[in-house]
Chains A and B, each alone.
Chain A
Amino acid sequence: MSPAPAILPERGLADRLTALFWRHPRLLLAVLLTPPLLWLGVVYLGSLAALLLQSFYSIDEFSGVVKEEFTLKTYGELFRAQNMDIIIRTLLMSAVVTVGCAILAFPIAYYAARFARGKWKAIFYLGVMLPLWSSYLVKVYAWKLILAKEGIVTWAADGMGLVPVLDAVLSIPGIGGNSLSTSYIGTFLVFVYIWLPYMILPMQAALERVPTSMLEASADLGASRSQTFRTVIFPLAMPGIIAGSIFTFSLTMGDYIIPQIVGNSSRFIGLAVYQLQGTAGNTPLAAAFAVVPIVVMLVYLWVAKRKGAFDAL
């Protein structure tokens, strides 16, 4: 019997490609990365640049024609009282929704990361993802019915004798209203429901990376549960909370459907952009409005980094 060859014969195209990529290690990377980079670079960043450019144009107030000349006039318009109202309202709502999501998400994410195993972990993922499988509009309209004056919440409050509580909540000036579905509280509830999965998942991923021994070490050194939470769990979960808050914050800032369906019809940035570029034809101001969330997110990330939110990464 002759000995096996030292070099095995080539078996066609797959082997030739393997050899090519082995000789030029960067080639495969280039082949894999070119399509997404083209997409990101040209389509995504390109349209972002076009948007930015538009925001530096202005509209002729008499003819309604966009003047393609560089000006900061449109940005100046953002500071008008009615526009500032929209921006502040949107930022407040986004912030409150983010905090609400974070508070609701933490126990769920913590349970899933620390205790859920096997079947329960699958149930957790299913439970978190299931709402994402049905249409966004269906969910929002369902919430409108739930929160309406004739809806199940009012009915349940009635049955449990909690109508005075509901009325008290609805009479809070500023955020209350005629019914839950026509108040800021309603808008908040629907936002929190819709974006909650986007907070739970990154938070759970961050908490999963915290080894149990680290919590034990904290207790071992004399920390109470709340000290361990403040000094170990929370800082280590911070990257996940930030990642989740980027989702909830920016999604709330950009959404233009929920405030139209549930709430008191006051405008949010998303709705303003939608109306300005559509009905009003004021593309420059719509573009300037669209830049606001981008700037806010950049500032937010910068502050978070300065505060050491990513130290645990």
Chain B
Amino acid sequence: MQGFRSQYAMAIAALLVFTAINYLIPLVGSATIDFALTSGVLPGVTPAKAAPEAVLSSVLVSWMGGADLVRNHLWLPALVMVGLTVLAGVFSYLKGRFAAQASDGIARRLKDRLYDHLQRLPTRYHDHAETGDLIQRCTSDVETLRMALSTQVVDISNAILLLLTALPLMLLLDGRMTAISFVLVVPIVLFGYIYVGRVKHLFREVDEAEGQVTRVVQENLTGLRVVRAFGRQSFEINKFAKPNQLYRDRSLRLLRLMAWYWSTSDLIVLIQQGIVLIAGAWFISQGTLSVGTLFAFIMFLNMLLWPVRQMGRTLTDLGKATVALNRMGEILSEAEESKREPAGVHPNPFRGGIEARDLVFDHDGKSAALNGISFTVRPGETLAILGPSGSGKSTIMHLLLRLYDYRSGSIRLDGQELTTLDRQWVRSQFSVVMQEPFLFSKTIGENIRLGREGAAKEEIQEAARLADIHDTINTFTAEYGTLVGERGVTLSGGQRQRVALARALLRETPVLLLDDALSAVDAETETNILHALRSRHGQRTTLVIAHRLSTLAHADRVIVLDKGRIIQEGRPEDLLKQEGLYRRLWTIQNAAQQEILDNERPVAATSAAPAASAALASASAHASATPASTPVPASR
């Protein structure tokens, strides 16, 4: 709230003036009635009118030019009344303006801070956090707080100010009437308190029931085909009826409670006003109170009781705002990724040499994702990583980017230990394309430009051409200006990968990381892209995860991972000579069609497998086992 104190102070100051003027307005009426209209008695003449209230009223009347003038020019007090209301209006406007600036300002700053904090929290935090929950905290929780700050906080200060200013004034006018005016205020406040306690859980229950309604509709619509396929429409209608009724019934329960609260509090307020009226009338009949004073008391009470009656709602909303504030606090108190590391001076310029020694990493104490990995990539070299899913391939990429920090071992960039280097500097040395790349909901051109701010149009198109996506982009109506995502074109997996590749190529960093980045692109296009890359960017260090031979064969060296360990390592041509994953892959992908046909028959697989493809036979053991269980009309 720092920085908005002055605005709040001004809002409350404006409110104070507004309140003061609001008290004057009924007094103008009361003074006019008492001194100008009532039997022509002049102020200060009768001893009965020498009471303090008369002093105030007579000041007002004399301020308007004296009783005689007022009596002869009744438009004067009328004009004063309108004038005061306009003045009060100005201050009411100022109050609204300052309160809005303060509360909206706080809300904006909170949103900005939350946004920035979230993107600087470590990856580990986001692995566990639920996206929907975080978004709710950043949007509807902030909104709840804003509402509380703009209305409830002002309402409460308003009520307190009203009370503080009204009390001396009322005491000044008439002590007995003041006491009578507050007889029922304590019961109203207590009543509000009890109501808040009871209504809180009802609100939650209604929200829950509404959530259930939404969930059933959502499930029904996403499972539409299943519903229709089994002809379960009437079953679904009955299923929906349950939460729908629950929602209605709970809302009605909440309503009944609200009906009791509002009607009872109205009754108490009205009785309070009635007591003042009747008591005032009695005092008048006794000759100890003027009609004008009674009039003023009735007006005061109208102003005072209204905020008190709102207590129930105000307290409920403030309770919600406190919860919202705590939920936001939980996010903001999480520690950000360390920004600067003290020790290391980064290699300048970084040439792209990477050396990993005995890397060990696990995700939160689960079984090790990497279990002692060592490899060296010289500047300009291409290293391919091959291995089954879950073997730790992507983890290596994540460690290089410092998305996670390794448990033990070391990674050196041109000899500098990675963990001693500034995270942002490290990340700016790599270009990455992930298997399921993320594109922002911007235009295609802007998405590519994210690789390097300020890149020229020609450079963007050049990168797109290199990634073999330029021609596809040109088929869209708005070409590079086409929006990506829901509001624009929906790109296929292969197209997304290639746009992401263009983005990465535009970066021109010393190291390129391709994490199964072209898996959705067909083999021929991939080969073209890799050839183009090689001829244009031969000097770039590249780490590539892939299982296509065409990609692997481009590498200077290949490492084969399994369960977090390197089980084979060497040049592609050397690996071909060894028994292992690489050779099996090679055999399958290069097997002649006839061999496949031969292997496809279960009987033939064991007896007639060519000696040269023994590996193929073992790799296809599974595929050839299945037909045995399905009826193959082999005889036809």
A binds B: no
A interface residues with partner B (beta carbon < 8 Å): none
B interface residues with partner A (beta carbon < 8 Å): none
